[in-house]
Chain A
Amino acid sequence: MTDILTILPNIYRTNPNLRSLLDRHSPSFDQCGLTTVDLVTLDPRSICQRARISLNDVNKIVDAIRDVLNAETLGGPVNAPTLRSGRSTPTGTPMGTPTGFGFGGGGGDVGVAGGVTNFRGRNMEALSRRQRVVGLGDEGFDAVLNGGFVTGSLVEVVGESGVGKTQLLLRLCFSIQQPPHNRSAIYICTESQISTKRMISMLDRLVSQEVEGYKSLSTDKIQTAMCQYPETLEHIVRYQLPIAIERFGVGLVVVDSIAANFRVVDDEAGDDLTSTRGGAKGRTAKLAKRAGDVVRLGMCLKEMAVKYNVAVVVANQVSDTFEPGWMRRNKGFMPPPPSSAPPASSFAAMAESIESSMGTQGMTQAQQQQGGSQEIPLAMMSQYGHPTDDLMMTYDYQAKWFTGWGEGIDDDDDIEDEVLLRALGKLKTPMLGMSWTNLLDGRVALVKGSAPRGSGGEAGEGEGGLVSEDGESEGRTRRWVKVVFAPWAESGVLLEYEIWEGGVRSVRELDTGGGEARDED
């Protein structure tokens, strides 16, 4: 519980004496849930009351923590002894005052003293030198992504199965090896076996191209790991990845996919709970716990991205959304959904509000309820898109702009492409919900749709999950990439792409140009 060592891993290096103190007292910190923030914000006396530790010890610990915090935020070398001795004297003063204003004058004085050197490395320029963009080697893609995936950030690639997420991620693993980066990649696979065959065929194809830098590509520089359980994943990310990153000179971490593990847990929960209706509460708790797990994992990934300046790209799946419960109650202005969905049980209605935020649960349920019919007609979608304005602050209303699906179905007269409209109009949502979305730096959605005559077969195809199957089957599958949000790229731009042996590439000549037309303005 106490997070001193996770937040400040360097604290013993700065303050070797602290080890014995912390060893002695961390159990009592644990017991009363005192975390690092508490230690620096609470009055030392109330800490010593709560934890039943002598004031002297509390002061020592708090002082040490403040020193390290100051050193870390202000960028001083943490283990430089001169800085430490310089700092420990001034921080001692404000500690005497019980209402001590945070970190006292110590941080200020030292920060100013060491300011010139510290801040030089801390300005924006330093960051922009550090930030690298991992492109995909395709003009169209890189234009849409404004260069590619940025290091130091956590980006999600979300899409239905078979839309080409893995292709894109594999291509990235090669991109990171190319000249500006020259680093290697770690590919963590949670779902299925790593498609090494695909990797090798992609490699062959890329090497055979006469492009500078492609010669040196190799699969040796892609470390792969398989991981089955959410706990394992978190453990790997938290403890083993940092070491691997340093050892292999990693510039890219791929997790394919993030939701798989959580979905497994979910199914279990669904099994024992759908049988008994009384389990709804337990299920809610489980969902909440899972949300916590997701957030912790996401935080780990984010921290790692920032700390080691790697690009973390995570694949995510979509689940089907279905008509929210509140809408069902307002049947007055809603025509019944034309799909063959049977009325949901009252139990489903109860748990629904959580589900629609969590996304994943919807997957299992929606599949049970709606059978295979994943194509929701456009007519319903436009109803969905016209909530009254007092619903504007609801998740369901706003979600279409950050999930990637459902935006501009009803109003976008500028999309003339029928297939694209259908693809965007599917009731899909990325898994793991809002709390996960908030962690992301960027989200890239891959949508696919097939020409109208193939739409009947589309429903059944969703379960297949054939990844490397190209869309040459009947009713040609077309795919678009869309930046849903990303701080460095313009959001909402659509681009049609296709999968080829060497990864993914944009389709240059568009027929009616739904995507391209939007692209230009």
Chain B
Amino acid sequence: MDPPSSMDYSRHRLPTQSAAAALATQLDQGYGSFTTGSEALDNSWGGTGLERGKLVEICGPPGSGKTAIALQLVADAVSKGEQVCWIDTLSQCPTSRLESIFAERKLESRVSSILRYQITSLAHFFAIVSHLTNSSMEISLIVIDDLSLLFTKEFPPASDAPQFQAAPNKGYEKQVDKRGRLVADIANRLQRLSASRMVAAVVLNQLATKAVRGGGPLELAPSVHSATNNWTHAFHHRILLLRKHIPKTDPPVDKRHLRFIFVLKSSGVDIQNTNMSRPDQFFVIKVTKSGVEDEKQQVFETLTGAILMAESFAASGENSEEHYGIGFSDSDEEAEVAHLPVGHLKRKRSTDTTSDIESRDNPAANVTNDTLGGNVDEDDDNTGQYSSDPVDLVPVAEALAGSDTDSFPILSQARRSHLHGETEQSKSNPLETVIPQKFGRTVVPDSDGESDDDVL
């Protein structure tokens, strides 16, 4: 994923560059990342939010705030001057909400910079994805709202009805197989799109009911999903939004807005598959009219009771093989919390890289909820040293500041020093807009060989 150092190589030669140069280029680019407004969520996505080139899946039942998070990312990307592409499937983006979010940030004039596609079938979706992969448009964020509708349309319930199976034709492909193939295909193409174009892609996914053998309660599982994990492999981050019963709180909270985010996968690490003993992570965000925020601390204190209750139950149920989505609800749950005063959020959101640097200077910190005492949260965003390191308990104030945990000290140092020097400059660097597209073209060799050449 390293960009070529120069473009004057002949097209016949393999463009190589040293790793150091690649790093430098990468830092030069200052590849944007987009924040969701929730610090905790941004942390789980690698500290600074959703980076370009990453693929994210957001699952959740209706009304759980999938679109809200997507809108927030869009607003953030647009405010950073990036080009955004919004793909509506059989629904339409709530423009009134988008506009109010934009108005809040004084971005009204830029609504028009969002490209929007309306597609109505899976076939169209394949068309649009390959178009985006091949075109030279400078897009840095793609939102697909939502993918599961397309699959529902293509495979309505009971579409594998007996009348089609009755006369088995040699060329007939079972709907199940076909669905699996298409899911894998889409995952593949999305991955290629995001990697080769350095695009952050957000895929929204609904939940579908899933009967469990043995007559247990009807479970919910992401609607688009493949049994062979082709689907989940494609994503860097996967989160699940749910709502949860919240016990009576002393200072009453408005529970309407609270959503629980379960991290299914973070920075390429499957949270519940890799290590079942590792506490699952969830945090609470507040989805309101004006966007997404972290919930304030008091809520978490009051939530502690609920969480402890969950832990007591966690010891019992271990039927997580049933399907992949239940793992997090069976095993321990624990608050992973970055509690922020709202004022801090506001500031954070509006400031640019300079304030990020300040926070980067803090040592890698683990965001914990110290009200939970022994409950400890490992930082989920360290790509390298994932396994069980000793964990520090960090006071809230520090945890707030030290949100960026970087597992590669050298890299982060380099980035830090680099950014210190050149933050402003890289913003205005005209090259910035040119290079990203070169970037992927050579890196992903099998992405449509011919059409790349003409750009290089």
Contacts and interface: CB of A to CB of B under 8 A. Distances in A.
A356 B218 contact: yes
Interface stretch (A198-206, A388-396, A463-471): A388-396
13 contacts: A49-B171, A93-B450, A122-B117, A292-B159, A302-B90, A307-B120, A324-B217, A390-B316, A392-B329, A393-B219, A396-B218, A411-B255, A438-B152
A128 interface: yes
A125 interface: yes
Interface string A390-416: 111111111001100000101111100
B220 A393 contact: yes
Contact of B127 (A38, A102, A127, A353): A102
A65 B218 CA distance: 40
- B-side interface size class: 35 or more
Interface stretch (B130-138, B228-236, B389-397): B130-138
Nearest to B114: A124
6 closest Cβ contacts across the A-B interface?
A485-B63, A50-B171, A108-B134, A32-B171, A102-B130, A128-B95
B216 A491 contact: no
Contacts of A8: 123
A411 B97 CA distance: 29
Contacts of B120: 7, 303, 306-307
Contacts of A490: 256, 288-289
B450 A105 contact: yes
B172 A104 contact: no
Interface of A: 1, 3, 7-8, 31-41, 49-52, 65-66, 69-70, 72-75, 93-94, 101-105, 107-109, 111-112, 115, 119, 122-128, 131, 133, 146-147, 150, 152-154, 285, 288-289, 291-292, 295-296, 299, 302-303, 306-307, 324-327, 349-350, 352-354, 356-357, 385-398, 401-402, 408, 410-414, 433-435, 437-441, 443, 484-488, 490-493, 518, 521
A306 B133 CA distance: 26
Contacts of A408: 255
Contact of B136 (A108, A146, A392, A493): A108
A326 B242 CA distance: 21
A101 B209 CA distance: 34
B257 to A, nearest CB: 8
Contacts of A36: 121-123
B135 A108 contact: yes
Contacts of A307: 120
A437 to B, nearest CB: 6
A102 B116 contact: no
Contact of B217 (A394, A435, A521): A394
A69 B124 contact: yes
B63 A124 contact: no
Most buried by A among B148, B217, B242, B451: B217
Contact of B90 (A128, A303, A401): A303
B329 A438 contact: no
A385 B246 CA distance: 10
Most buried by A among B63, B67, B450: B63
A401 B61 contact: yes
A124 B116 contact: yes
Contacts of B343: none
B450 A434 contact: no
A50 B172 CA distance: 7
Given A353-B218, A487-B97, A101 B206 contact: no
Interface string B168-199: 01111101001001100100010000000000
B252 A435 contact: no
Interface in B99-143: 99, 111-124, 126-131, 133-137
Given A38-B178, A102-B126, A123-B115, A326 B91 contact: no
Nearest to B325: A393
Given A124-B93, A435-B157, A412 B111 contact: no
A350 B148 CA distance: 29
Nearest to A105: B451
Interface in B196-245: 206-209, 211-212, 215-221, 223, 242-245
A195 to B, nearest CB: 30
B298 to A, nearest CB: 15
Nearest to B102: A124
A349 to B, nearest CB: 7
B399 to A, nearest CB: 25
A210 B111 CA distance: 38
Contacts of A402: 61-63
Contacts of B448: 94, 101, 104-105
A299 B90 contact: yes
Contacts of A40: 123, 126-127
B29 to A, nearest CB: 23
Contacts of B67: 487
B91 A389 contact: no
A146 B115 CA distance: 25
A107 B131 contact: yes
B265 to A, nearest CB: 16
Nearest to B246: A411
A111 B129 CA distance: 12
A212 B88 CA distance: 36
